[in-house]
């Protein structure tokens, strides 16, 4: 499977556009600013995966994930703060990949030492318009993390 072309930039551009037209997305735009202001992606390569969870369904509770083979940056906003957690996966993590019979329906759960670190779901995490892109992205993340 080929890497989903420009999904990182496509997702980020969609969030930026929405933040200008819809106040619900302003917090996400500010979260991006904090991520860059605090250099939280400095240790990530340019080939990391960007996964925006709930952005297109419930932007007030959206979470942003930056994923690489050995680490994940989990980002979320509350009413008065931004929370950033960097989880080092190392080589000791477990993947559970599920493909459902529904059209473009899959999920990936990442665990470390039996504890769930991250759950990605092409149906629950987005709306119908973005579902196929999420499906492809989750499939590719699974392939890359399985290597």
Q: What is the pLDDT along the chain (147 residues), one digit of tens a residue?
A: 445 545 778 888 888 888 888 877 888 888 988 999 999 999 999 889 999 999 999 988 899 999 999 999 999 988 889 999 999 999 889 999 999 998 899 999 999 999 999 999 999 999 999 999 999 999 999 999 999
| Main-chain phi, psi angles of 131, to 5 degrees | -55, -45
Tell whether 142 is covered by a domain: yes
Tell whether 99 is covered by a domain: yes
Q: Three-state DSSP class for 75?
A: strand
User: What pLDDT, on a 0 to 100 scale, did the predictor assign at position 6?
Assistant: 55
Tell whether 1 is covered by a domain: no
DSSP state of 45: -
Q: Three-state DSSP class for 112?
A: strand
Number of domains the chain contains: 1
Greatest alpha-carbon span in the chain: 43
End-to-end CA distance of the chain: 13
| Main-chain phi, psi angles of 63, to 5 degrees | -130, 145
Q: What range does the domain containing 80 cover?
A: 7-146
Tell whether 101 is covered by a domain: yes
Tell whether 2 is covered by a domain: no
């Amino acid at each position: 499977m080929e890497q989903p072309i420009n999904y990182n930039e496509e997702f980020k551009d969609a969030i930026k556009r929405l933040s200008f037209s819809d106040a619900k997305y302003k917090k996400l735009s500010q979260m991006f600013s904090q991520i860059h202001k605090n250099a939280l992606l400095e240790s990530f390569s340019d080939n990391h995966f960007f996964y925006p969870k709930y952005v297109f369904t419930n932007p007030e509770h959206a979470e942003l994930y930056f994923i690489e083979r050995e680490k994940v940056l989990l980002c979320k906003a509350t009413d008065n703060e931004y929370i950033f957690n960097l989880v080092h996966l190392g080589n000791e993590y477990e993947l559970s990949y599920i493909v459902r019979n529904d059209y473009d329906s899959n999920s990936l759960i990442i665990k470390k030492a039996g504890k769930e670190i991250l759950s990605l779901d092409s149906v629950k995490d987005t709306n119908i318009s973005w579902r196929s892109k999420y499906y492809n992205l989750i499939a590719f993340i699974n392939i890359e993390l399985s290597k």
